[in-house]
Amino acid sequence: MIDIVFDYTQLQTIGLTQTVINQLYAMTETPPAGSALLRVTEIQRDWLTVHDGNTEYPARTLPKLLTALHEQGTALAVGDWVIVQVNELGERWISIQLPPASHLARRANDGRRQPLASNIDTALLVMGLDMDFNPRRLERYLAFTRAAGITAVAVLTKADIGIEVEQRLTELQQRLPSDVPILAVNGLADATRDTLAPWLGAGQTLVVLGSSGVGKSTLTNTLMTSDTQATGGVRHGDGRGRHTTTARSLHQLPGGACLIDTPGLRTWRADTDEAGINAGFDDIDTLSAHCHYRDCQHQDEPGCAVRDAIPADRLHNYHKLLREARRGQQTALERKAETAKWKAIGKAGNARSREKRGG
């Protein structure tokens, strides 16, 4: 029998679910007696903060677990449920990571996976109705969260000071899948808590995603009814924000839900495959079944059912994300080979041009 210390009622305040309990008792590795089930609420370099629903503690990760995660191409993330043991010096060490029910990550330029958050029920995709308004970026966030099996809600902040608010709402309603809620809010208003109430039930875990300056920290403070997160302004001229949140962190909300705030994400490279991208563009995926050719790329093929039915900009974004996903699935050698291939094609094209000019 696994000897793990945990208080279900207490841990439920930071998102414990029956799924986590099932994973706990399905473990094949036996932890030391007296180990505790805790949740990672913040990561700062080599140190992590773990929480038991009542108190938070500093902890580090055992080298054995670090090595295992590295071999899997991943790492611990805020929101992970972990087994923690205490040594004779009173130091807390993370020895086991329970498999996350959901996980968000992005790919670095060199292909490495960078974990963002784990065990999430709902992603609040935050975008400002000011100069930050960028439907392509919102589609990108939506594609990646859906690929991870996470419910997505589009939260448009600064509705009180936004530009062409009604037109922009209509544009998104026509562009995004119909089952994605689109909410326009004033992040400073108490009414925002009521607007988001359907996703703030006890035991639920949410993550806030968006670029810097869209009001993620302001929204977090409003939902927490406190000023826990520092906030800042945006630059004049382009509306881009300054990084006021520098680390991902999990916060307990008054109603029993948890919220993970994240630093601004201006770019987010795909950590998914083509099927994952299609999950975020299910309207295109559905229409493609009616294309004349089964392998239609929705570009210039005759009989394409997608090209005329989907806005050109949305279709362009879809193709771009597919290319990123394919590249993200390549090994380092495959990426080098593809780069060399296109360099050779470019050189050949330049040579032909010189020949035509008589050079």
pLDDT of residue 108: 66
Say yes or no to pLDDT of 329 above 90.
no
pLDDT band at 235 (very low <50, low <70, confident <90, very high): very low
Say yes or no to pLDDT of 223 above 60.
yes
pLDDT band at 333 (very low <50, low <70, confident <90, very high): low
Phi, psi of 146 (to 5 degrees): -65, -35
pLDDT of residue 337: 64
Q: Which two tokens stand for residue 299?
A: 């570009």
CATH number of 4-101: 2.40.50.140
Q: What is the mean pLDDT of residues 13-28?
A: 89
pLDDT of residue 37: 95
pLDDT band at 233 (very low <50, low <70, confident <90, very high): very low
pLDDT of residue 162: 80
Cα(144)–Cα(146) distance, integer angstroms: 5
pLDDT of residue 269: 66
- pTM of this structure: 0.79
For 292-307, the pLDDT digits (tens) are 888 888 888 889 999 8
Q: Which two tokens stand for residue 253?
A: 């909300």
Which ranges of 72-153 does DSSP label H, i.e. alpha helix?
A: 135-147
Angle 105-107-111 from CA coordinates, rounded to 5°: 140
**Contacts of residue 353, Cβ cutoff 8 Å, sequence gap at least 6:** none
**In this predicted structure, which of 48-57, 202-211, 265-274, 316-325 has the lowest mean pLDDT?**
265-274
pLDDT band at 199 (very low <50, low <70, confident <90, very high): very high
CA torsion, ordered 316, 320, 323, 324, to nearest 10 deg: -160
Q: What is the mean pLDDT of residues 84-92?
A: 93
Percent pLDDT > 70 in the chain is 85
Phi, psi of 278 (to 5 degrees): -60, -30
Q: Which two tokens stand for residue 129?
A: 């109705």
Q: What is the mean pLDDT of residues 241-250?
A: 59
In the three-class reduction of DSSP (H, G, I as helix; E, B as strand; rest coil), residue 27 is classed as coil
Q: Residue 277: name the closest of 114, 107, 176, 142 by CA.
A: 142
Q: Which two tokens stand for residue 118?
A: 């784990």
Cβ burial 116-126 (10 Å sphere, 16+ → b, else e): bbbbbbbbbbb
Say yes or no to pLDDT of 228 above 80.
no
* Superfamily name with CATH number, domain 105-261: P-loop containing nucleotide triphosphate hydrolases (3.40.50.300)
Q: Residue 155: name the closest of 143, 167, 138, 140 by CA.
A: 138
pLDDT of residue 106: 80
CATH number of 274-328: 1.10.40.50
Cα(217)–Cα(261) distance, integer angstroms: 7
pLDDT of residue 338: 59
Q: Hey, what amino acid is at 76?
A: L
Instruction: Tell me what percent of the chain is helix, strand and coil, each rounded to the nearest 5.
Output: 35, 20, 45
Say yes or no to pLDDT of 241 above 80.
no
Say yes or no to pLDDT of 88 above 80.
yes
Say yes or no to pLDDT of 334 above 80.
no
Q: What is the mean pLDDT of residues 233-242?
A: 44
Q: Which two tokens stand for residue 22?
A: 């099932």
Cβ burial 241-256 (10 Å sphere, 16+ → b, else e): beebbeebbbbbbeee
Q: What is the mean pLDDT of residues 8-32?
A: 89
Average pLDDT of the chain? 83
